[in-house]
Structure 1
Amino acid sequence: MDYQNDLISVSREELINIMQDSMSQRRYRHVLRVEKTAIKLAEMYNIDIEKVSIAALAHDYAKEKSDEEMRDLIISENLELDMLQFGSNIWHGPVGAILMKNEYQLEDEAILEAIKFHTIGSPTMGDIAQIIYVADYIEPRRLHRGVDKARKLAEKDLAATVAYITRQTLKHLVDRKNKIYPKAVETYNAWVVEK
């Protein structure tokens, strides 16, 4: 696939190389699997494949950045400072969106939203964000409890899959007595309770 719409300052091949150079091989292979899964979902739901590809390839761009670098960006870019009470699992989405915007002139709000919210979701996720949220959870090497049900559900109803994944994720965090980022609770309330 060639990118045709000038959504980002690099080609797909260049973006792939950037991701390969910026993360471990294990993480890079995960990113490629997420892209493949996301494109399949995009085709199924008639969602912009180019945007989905860019978001999928870039979703973990900041995942292996140092905590110090991420903290500095959260502060310098005036992101929500309450995020600092949580770890890099929460930080890497919003930080990755900022880095992609600053370093590769990625301006498309739907793609940036997908990168930003791929871990915690958002009450108002658009189609591309939903695809990345789901693809990251169901890519073929994921083995967690409930993933098979999520995969089957993803073939029928994207919004129901978002709700299911959100419920499963919060249940997992509660069962482990982990601190829960408030925005994740907002996602739960919007997708599970209200819908």
Structure 2
Amino acid sequence: MEFSREALIESVSSQMPEKRWKHTLGVMKTSVELAERYGGDPERAETAATLHDVAKYWPVERMREIIEDNDLSAELLRYDKQLWHAEVGAFVAEKEYGITDREILDAIRFHTSGREGMTLMDKIVCLADYIEPGRDFPGVDRIRKLAKSSLEEGLIAGFDSTISLLLEKRKIVFPLTLLSRNDLVRALEEKE
């Protein structure tokens, strides 16, 4: 089953509050802009961005069931529930929306945590989620500025912001976020 762009937007927007849909629209627009700037595929980036939060407002138990019943990353269940929607969203994108493009599915799956060896699509959607125009948190303007010249620098600043906030609140940091950040730093150091 293949969804037209309009049908996809209609279906996804119906699953979240208006405020979250406005965020999604911002991520869609920003993903297209980043794809155009950095040589990605704007249409595919927009599709990933449209679906990135599709499961965000699903009941926690429904997400837990999908993770457990489909042998998804069970490790996630040991961490903050805010991370679950990304894994579930990728599953839903494939099973309910017929997305078969692995890069789109992975960009959805890793938009909250990143991963080692992030693809261009991963970087675009993850960074767009940080810097879309509706985002307002300390340091977002610096991340936006960095994103104009480097996806990697923007992402490192974004991950640093997330990690600092979690440390400040004495929360557990998802290990993949640290690994993602370190991998980006290492890759930049190797370029120099």
User: 1:169 is matched by which residue type in structure 2?
Assistant: T
Residue 46 (structure 2) pairs with residue 49 (structure 1): no
User: Under a length normalisation based on structure 2, what TM-score does the superposition of the two structures give?
Assistant: 0.93
* Structure 2 spans left out of the alignment, 5+ residues: none
8 Å CA contact 1:166–1:192 kept in 2: the answer is no
Matched, 1:110 2:103: yes
Contact 2:73 2:87 in 1 (8 A): no
Matches within 5 A, 1:24-173: 24-173=17-166
Q: How does 1:164-183 map to 2 (within 5 A)?
A: 164-183=157-176
Aligned partner of residue 107 in structure 1, secondary structure: coil
User: Which digits, 9 at most, give the CA deviation of each residue in 1:144-195, with x for residues without a partner?
Assistant: 1111011111111111111121122111111111111121221122123564
Deviations 1:2-37 (A, max 9, x none): xxxxxx711111111011111111111110111011
**Structure 2 CA distance for partners of 1:32 and 1:163, relative to 1, 3 Å:** same
Counting aligned pairs with the same residue, the percent is 36
Deviation at 1:44, TM superposition (A): 1.0
Instruction: For 1:129, give the aligned amino acid.
Output: D
| Alpha-carbon RMSD | 1.3
Letter in 2 for 1:60: D
Task: For 1:165 and 1:30, locate their aligned partners in 2 and report how far apart those are by CA, in whole Å.
Answer: 17
Q: What are the superposed Cα offsets for residues 105-160 of structure 1, whole Å, 9 maximum, x if unpaired?
A: 11111101110011111111101110111111001111111110111111111111
CA displacement at 1:76 relative to structure 2: 1.1
> Measured at CA, do residues 85 and 154 of structure 1 come closer, stay the same or move farther in structure 2, by a change above 3 Å?
same
The answer (yes or no) to whether the contact 1:153–1:161 under 8 Å persists in 2 is: yes
1:5 is aligned to none
Residue 124 of structure 1 aligns to a residue in which SS?
coil
Amino acid at match of 1:19: V
Return closer, same or farther for 1:177/1:192 CA change in 2, 3 Å cut-off.
farther
Q: Equivalents in 2 of 1:15, 1:80: separation in Å?
A: 26
Quote the Cα distance in structure 2 between the aligned partners of 1:84 and 1:33. 29
**Count of residues paired in the alignment:** 188
How far, CA to CA, are the matches of 2:24 and 2:32 in structure 1? 12
Name the CA distance, whole Å, in 1 between partners of 2:124 and 2:27: 10
